[in-house]
Chains A and B, each alone.
Chain A
Amino acid sequence: MKRLFVLAVMLCVSLQAKAVLTIEITQGLEGALPVAVVPFAWRGDAGSPPPQAVGEVIAADLQRSGRFKPLSPDEMLARPSRGEEVDFRDWRALNVDNLVIGEISPNGPGGYLIKFYLYDVFRGEQLTGYSMPTTARDLRATAHSIADIIYETLTGQPGAFATRIAYVTSERDSAGKELVELRIADADGYNPQTIVSSKEPIMSPAWSPDGRKLAYVSFEKAKPSIWIQEVFTGKREKVSSFKGINGAPAWSPDGRFLALTLSKDGNPDIFILDVARRSLRPLTRHWSIDTEPAWAPDGKSLVFTSDRGGSPQIYQVSVNGGEASRISFEGKYNARASFSPDGKMLTMVTRVNGQYRIATLDLKSRDFRVMSTGRLDESPSFAPNGSMIIYATRVNDKGMLAAVSTDGRVQQRLRIQQGDVREPVWSPHHKQERIR
């Protein structure tokens, strides 16, 4: 019998505490691998330690994945930070499979050098080890990259810790005036930054494949327009502002095109915009609603939502247009599909007995699985390594984010202290860079 056990990881931080997303794992993986991440030793001046506890960030990442069960530092029998200090018997006694140790040294003004080692405790051998220069500002980012290396070494799949999520927040002041913001945070909820703030709705953020730009819909000036904004500079431009709907932007895998929904010709159809040339071509032409395009990772086809059959369902069409074929058949409501990074699976919103939930469809086996348990779940987005799906849910009349592992076994919830959070989108893998 699978137990529902709660591992609350309170990731509160003093800076910008109100905006930080708090992540709690609401259902963990039975049989998560026991791992020990020893707090990294500081080799510099005892009076001025690094501003981040690197080992703790790594341990929290591994725990959040649901695949690892980090040992509490209180239970550790020793706290080695160098290879020669490790006595594997200390860790075998605690049934720890893998051990991570490390140290941080000063490295020039404002710089640090992190060295870490990953061991297989039972074989008593080192699996990997790196030396990574970083800065005070990038300490957390470097810790996430280390967690990615550990994750990949132990599971064979790339990690997705050194990534970000974009999401939309909504807060109302005492007069009921709404403030809508597009924010970006690290995948663990830290470093939230507002990149657009508006009194009008903001919708449908979409990361460019290089992770440097976001396309989104903004209703500023009382009409919907699509904007592309550079994440690091804040520079932005309006790329679509036709009469009617300008919505649902989706980047092609090569970043050259945006698929979008326009109703300029009378009803919503999907168009392809050449971003550099600003030229537009229609992809679908149908009297029904066609919207929510998403590209296959090979760029050769797109899926979209259409009610041409009488209820919203997912259809697939070649990037060159032509006949669309229906690919969702389960139930009367399937919408907002997107591909897994390997292109083998779709995630979508589905209606089950009046409840809106997140589902996956295996494109080969046609296996359709409902992954979430809420009433009003929407906006699913795969992590760039395909391991998790993040989505929006509502609990007690409040919007929050949740994530489920693609195998359905790990569930987590991301809370923000005030207001609503919605429309999460996971960034692609990209080189860490700080937002200015």
Chain B
Amino acid sequence: MKRNTTAWLTIVLSALLFAGCSSTGTKDGDPGASVEDGTGASTMGASQGGSWSGNPLDNPNSLLSSRTIYFDFDQSTIRSEYIDVLRTHAGYLNTNRSVAVTVEGHADERGSREYNIALGERRANTILRFLEAEGVSSSQINTISYGEERPIAFGDDEASWAENRRGVLVY
């Protein structure tokens, strides 16, 4: 088995924190789940919907509206402040088994580009494993690393780099 230690730590961490929902995700699901059929999401919703009557993904008051989590420099560990966000997404995906999500991994611009592709993939995989540990089927999750190729902030400075070191959930 080839897994990096950080990813294992994350799985262990999430398993400890959320022992109740730590059913092991299927390991051999089809990773090629289509990205485009997010429109298949139904209008009945996850718990956080409140009085929201549309697609829960569109509810601005739900944690589901948070789709980006940020990473520390050269790290792929999930920061504790994003655990609730990812857990909410896991809950939504568990309730809506026909919904697929693409997890994008991104890096800041420092260092070489292909190495950053690998770093971005490590970040996407950490999120993937967290969701799987929360019971989401791997067939619902697709990952892609854009490395430093898709920045959202364009300055060559610490503030921009922090914004670009991210994982994004795309429904």
Contact = CB atoms under 8 A, between A and B. Distances in A.
B109 A349 contact: no
B118 A245 contact: yes
A287 B2 contact: yes
Interface residues of B, number: 30
A265 B2 contact: yes
B115 A267 contact: no
The number of chain A residues touching the other chain, given as a range, is: 35 or more
B110 interface: yes
B156 A263 contact: no
Interface string B32-62: 1001000000000000000000000000000
A291 B114 contact: yes
Given A247-B117, A291-B118, A305 B112 contact: yes
B137 interface: no
Contacts of A375: 156
Contacts of B113: 203-204, 336, 378-379, 422-423
A203 B110 CA distance: 16
Contact of A219 (B4, B119, B146): B146
Contacts of A244: 121, 143
B2 A289 contact: no
B111 A203 contact: no
B119 to A, nearest CB: 7
A351 B2 contact: no
Contact of A376 (B109, B119, B122, B146): B109
A45 B156 CA distance: 54
B163 interface: no
The 9 A-B pairs of least Cβ separation, nearest first, read: A201-B149, A336-B112, A335-B112, A289-B118, A248-B114, A287-B2, A268-B118, A266-B2, A335-B115
Interface of A: 201, 203-204, 219, 222-224, 243-245, 247-248, 261, 263, 265-268, 285-289, 291-292, 305, 312, 333, 335-336, 349, 351, 356, 375-376, 378-379, 394, 397, 422-423
Interface of B: 1-4, 31-32, 35, 102, 109-115, 117-119, 121-122, 143-147, 149-150, 154-156
